[in-house]
Structure 1
Amino acid sequence: MRRFASCLLLTLCIQLALVALSAAQSIDGLVTFGDSLSDMGNRSVETKKPGIKFRENWVKILADPGLLNVPDFKPSGMSYYYGGTNYAVGGATTEVTAAMNKDRNRGQHLTQQISKRYLNPTFNKDGVKKNALHVIVIGTNDLMLASIGIDQLATQWAKLDTVGVAVAKSTESQIQALASAGVRRVMWGDLFDVAQAPSVVNRAKPFGASVSATYLAAITRAVNAHNTEMDAAIARLQKANPGLTITKLDLHSRFADVAKDPSKYGFTEVTKGANDDKHLFSADGLHPTTQAHKMLAQYAYEVLTKSKPVAQQGAQ
């Protein structure tokens, strides 16, 4: 009986492993949108210099052999088509904050990335990759820029959470645009609590202890408001698009867990920015180190292989 049970358990483990492998292998390509977390060097390719080295970030690692194995994953370009499928641009926001700040980032917001470039056959000569995994992580820059707006400063950020909600809805509209174009699989990353990032904590110190605490608490509320609205948006999108599968990448929970127990993930501490792999954040106190990017790529891969394409089961 014990031998039978052991064989049964082994068979079950093999089947689960095969299902996970199949889920990853069914992804035909990788298309990414967002900000500096995912940008591989779209600004660099604008120079048109030969031999450009692309940034080794989490989406690049996710595309590498051993994980999704997506060949020739590279930047898309901005003013001209470079030929890649990474549309993310450092400093990008959604259209919401681009409008508030008169588009300081020169037209690189999410709507430009998706609707004006990727879904535009005049720019994207290779067309929409309907069976590829489309990854979107955006919103942190929105909250950072909005928080220094005159209206937010005047009210001590009392309405910053409304920006978080608007950002989630703006992203939702772009995912709907992807779905309408036939895209079948999206991974949408929520926002980690950027109020815990060393650079943001330091940025708040000149306000004084009381105002600083108010500022950081407002950012946390805005992040939570975004993530709550994002969950609701995913439900709406799934209902409206039976052929679309949306996988949530819970960056908020993962970063919180790293902050709680850094050693569990191979980090020394996360309260100071340092450009080495013992820290979660780089020298600027916000962007992940190489080791942290590897952690995020592995986490995303695990989420993908464990996710069940519920929406696709009802698709015709």
Structure 2
Amino acid sequence: MDAAAAFLLSIIFILASPNIEAAQQFSGMFVFGDSLVDDGNNNLLGSLAKANYFPYGIDFYEGPSGRFCNGKTIIDFLGELMGLPYLPAFASTFTSVGINVVNGVNYASAGAGILDETGLQLGDRFSLSQQVQNFETTLNQLKSQMDEKELSQYLAKALAVMILGSNDYINNYLLPSLYTTSSNYTPKDYADLLIGHYTSHILALQSSGLRKFLLAGVGPLGCIPNQLASGRAPEGECVSFVNDIVEIFNTRLRSLVDQLTRSHPGSIFVYGNTYGVFTDILNNPDSFGFSVANKGCCGIGRNQGQITCLPMSIPCLKRDQYVFWDAFHPTEAVNQIIARRAYGGPPSDCYPINVKKMAEV
């Protein structure tokens, strides 16, 4: 390779690579979640829920990586704001040599829920309970790199992000042909069941040494293309009863933040109001630069929401003008807005404090 070609290649690499400009504000970030933030764990699982093929990743510097998006996820943007590099998927820490887990690990898995049985019809996935166990595996790796005091200080300054609950509705409660939960529980009782399980896993992580938690609420699922494609709402409207039951869960989760804050004064618990931020975007798409808010950029069927992106399908051209990437997931443009508001927004976006302030505590 001549000098000119080498120079051109280096410029292309710089432009394509993630741009981390902020100073590192947390010692690391550990992510527990579902397909909204999965960055490749399901690539290595026997799951029907995969995104390691085109057009997924069409706008991501690595191409299809397992992210259920055209580009970056909320976690990617949040990490950039916090001065952290992209996190390795937990599954890759065993299949690739030399992966550094000190900056954190992503345990999120498409199809995963708070309940173990959620997403069962999709095949293998790391449920929340398994993700917590996987964190313990990482913890053992960190113990080999730090002494007890260093590890304690490191964990206290790390951020745990938990984005779960969506699948417990769309891949459990709202599928009465496959799950009995909607017959066995009222929406209020189901929300209580979820919060009870969620609490036990949050406290397990807290007892392992983590002290800073961002707990994201569930978005307005009644407005996603998949639910609009069901025909259960008038044209131009969301499926209101789905949003209503999701809000019950979110109300419980915000109350849990207050409860945990009172009972664990040495820890910080924050509620991320994903529902509110996403509703702002859907109610005022034009003001956020979006022109299409009721169908996926790629997909098949009504509202392009009945089936997600098929391999090698051609997505919309103006992806930054779409709120939804596919039947279930937002576009990179929406993920950036959500991440920025979680990082620096007011208490209505991130309660009681935002991520930036969490780093300062």
Whether TM-score is above 0.5 comes out as yes
Structure 1 pair 103/244, CA: closer, same or farther in 2 (3 Å)? Answer: farther
CA drift of 1:61 comes to 2.1
CA deviation map 1:29-79 (0-9, x unaligned): 1111100111111122569x9x89633312012212xx1111352211179
CA drift of 1:107 comes to 4.9
Structure 1 pair 124/80, CA: closer, same or farther in 2 (3 Å)? Answer: farther
**Which amino acid is the alignment partner of residue 39 of structure 2?**
M
Quick check: 2:159–2:212 contact (8 Å CA) kept in 1? yes
Structure 1 pair 69/158, CA: closer, same or farther in 2 (3 Å)? Answer: same
Does residue 1:281 correspond to 2:324, yes or no? yes
Structure 1 pair 26/290, CA: closer, same or farther in 2 (3 Å)? Answer: closer
Structure 1 pair 153/221, CA: closer, same or farther in 2 (3 Å)? Answer: farther
**Which amino acid is the alignment partner of residue 75 of structure 2?**
V
Structure 1 pair 151/59, CA: closer, same or farther in 2 (3 Å)? Answer: closer
**Which amino acid is the alignment partner of residue 27 of structure 1?**
F
Quick check: 2:41–2:108 contact (8 Å CA) kept in 1? yes
**Which amino acid is the alignment partner of residue 159 of structure 2?**
L
CA drift of 1:308 comes to 5.9
Structure 1 pair 267/208, CA: closer, same or farther in 2 (3 Å)? Answer: closer
Structure 1 pair 78/172, CA: closer, same or farther in 2 (3 Å)? Answer: farther
CA distance in 2, matches of 1:111, 1:186: 17
CA distance in 2, matches of 1:227, 1:93: 15
Does residue 1:242 correspond to 2:265, yes or no? yes
**Which amino acid is the alignment partner of residue 200 of structure 2?**
S
Per mean C-alpha deviation after superposition, the further-off stretch among 189-198 and 51-60 is 51-60
Q: How does 1:277-316 map to 2 (within 5 A)?
A: 277-282=320-325, 284-303=326-345, 304-305=354-355, 307=357
* Alignment TM-score, normalising by the size of structure 1: 0.74
CA drift of 1:237 comes to 1.2
Query: Hey, what does 1:118 align to over in structure 2?
Result: 135
**Which amino acid is the alignment partner of residue 129 of structure 2?**
T
CA drift of 1:272 comes to 1.8
CA drift of 1:241 comes to 1.2
CA deviation map 1:238-282 (0-9, x unaligned): 122111101221101101100110122221131122242201101
**Which amino acid is the alignment partner of residue 162 of structure 2?**
I
Does residue 1:43 correspond to 2:39, yes or no? no
Query: Hey, what does 1:15 align to over in structure 2?
Result: none
Query: What percentage of residue pairs aligned between the two structures are identical?
Result: 23
Query: Hey, what does 2:19 align to over in structure 1?
Result: none
CA distance in 2, matches of 1:172, 1:68: 26
Does residue 1:93 correspond to 2:113, yes or no? yes
**Which amino acid is the alignment partner of residue 110 of structure 2?**
G
CA distance in 2, matches of 1:255, 1:150: 29
Match of 2:173 among 124, 146, 152: 146
Match of 1:74 among 64, 88, 105: 88
Structure 1 pair 154/92, CA: closer, same or farther in 2 (3 Å)? Answer: closer
CA drift of 1:306 comes to 5.5
**Which amino acid is the alignment partner of residue 109 of structure 1?**
S
CA deviation map 1:120-170 (0-9, x unaligned): 46x852257512111001011111122112598897898234323322332
Please report the RMSD computed on the Cα atoms of aligned residues, expressed in angstroms: 3.5
CA distance in 1, matches of 2:163, 2:268: 16
CA distance in 2, matches of 1:239, 1:249: 18
SS in structure 2 at match of 1:247: strand
**Which amino acid is the alignment partner of residue 187 of structure 2?**
L
Quick check: 1:267–1:279 contact (8 Å CA) kept in 2? yes
Unaligned runs of 5+ in 1: 1-22
**Which amino acid is the alignment partner of residue 219 of structure 1?**
V
Quick check: 1:143–1:163 contact (8 Å CA) kept in 2? no
**Which amino acid is the alignment partner of residue 297 of structure 1?**
A
Quick check: 2:113–2:127 contact (8 Å CA) kept in 1? yes
Query: Hey, what does 1:270 align to over in structure 2?
Result: 293
Quick check: 1:147–1:157 contact (8 Å CA) kept in 2? no
